[in-house]
Amino acid sequence: MKRIAIFASGAGSNARKIIEHFNHHPRISVELIVCNKPGAGVLNIADEHGIPTLLLDKEQFFRGNAYVDELKADEIDFIVLAGFLWKVPAALIQAYPGKIVNIHPALLPNYGGKGMYGHFVHEAVIANKETESGISIHLVDELYDHGKVVFQASCEVKADDTPETLAQRIHELEHKHFAPVIETLLS
Ligand SMILES: Nc1nc2c(c(=O)[nH]1)N[C@@H](CN(C=O)c1ccc(C(=O)N[C@@H](CCC(=O)O)C(=O)O)cc1)CN2
Ligand SMILES: NCC(=O)N[C@@H]1O[C@H](COP(=O)([O-])[O-])[C@@H](O)[C@H]1O
């Protein structure tokens, strides 16, 4: 059984879709939700599904062992970043080479990097009058949004779009594609 930990900081809609997709899956299971924000919606989703949670301490994450020991002790095989807003430290990347994947709400390499998360991404896309946006699923390296892109899907940006209406269209792409891409990566 491949054991997945999902790292998330927010509402957790992607985490929910991934949990549901792998519920009763013969080879893959979501075993842990890791979060850096007390009270985040993703923690409630974990509780709804009886999935253990781990709340990160900033000091230990960035200047300690990056929770490598805890993840290895839980026999986690693969890490999914689903709206996780801290930079994953080198120690964790080195412990999980090629086994950490992230979803970004834009068509990389555009609209990525520090500060490019959530509504900030959609605001920049709209401000630049782009006619197309989308999602990128990529392996995680030590830089933000720099790792190998393994999947992209695009959508229209409408002239009257707001960051909220664009975010909704992006979420639909994320919820459709992220879990199947993870399944393919773990095949
Ligand atoms: N080592 C890596 N860590 C992370 C990556 C990555 O590619 N390599 N991806 C991010 C997710 N992400 C975009 O997809 C992203 C998330 C957050 C930020 C950002 O600027 N964060 C702020 C802090 C925000 C906060 O604490 O609320 C910052 O660093 O100042 C950029 C991109 C996950 N980790
Ligand atoms: N750069 C990282 C980033 O912006 N990630 C984005 O955070 C949202 C989390 O939504 P969710 O909590 O509902 O899954 C998603 O749209 C994801 O692409």
Return the ligand 2 atom nearest residue 144 CA: 1
For ligand 2, say whether the CB of 10 is within 6 Å of any of its atoms: yes
Please state the ipTM of this predicted complex: 0.98
What's the rounded Cα separation, in Å, for the pair 128 and 124? Answer: 6
State both tokens at 86. 């801290």
Domain count for the chain = 1
pLDDT bracket for residue 115 (50, 70, 90) = very high
- Stated pTM of the model: 0.98
Q: How far apart are the first and last CA of the chain?
A: 11
- Residues forming beta bridges with residue 153, ordered by sequence position: 135
Which ligand ends up closest to the CA of 171?
2
Specify whether 25 is catalytic: no
118 lines ligand 2 (CB under 6 A): yes
Using alpha carbons only, give the angle 173, 111, 133 rounded to the nearest 5 degrees.
Answer: 35
Dump the DSSP string for 50-71: T--EEEPPHHHHHHS-TTHHHH
Q: Is 14 close to ligand 1, i.e. is its CB under 6 Å away? A: no
Predicted confidence (pLDDT) per residue in 45-92, tens digit: 999 999 999 999 999 999 999 999 999 999 999 999 999 999 999 999
Q: What is the CATH number of the domain that holds 64?
A: 3.40.50.170
On whether residue 50 sits in a domain, the answer given is yes
DSSP 8-state secondary structure symbol assigned to residue 12: -
Residue 23, in any domain of the structure: yes
Q: 6: domain range?
A: 2-97
Q: Is 142 in the pocket of ligand 1 (CB under 6 A)?
A: yes
- Selecting among 21, 49, 104, 171, the annotated active-site residue is 104
**Do the domain assignments include residue 84?**
yes
Tokens, residue 94? 């080195």
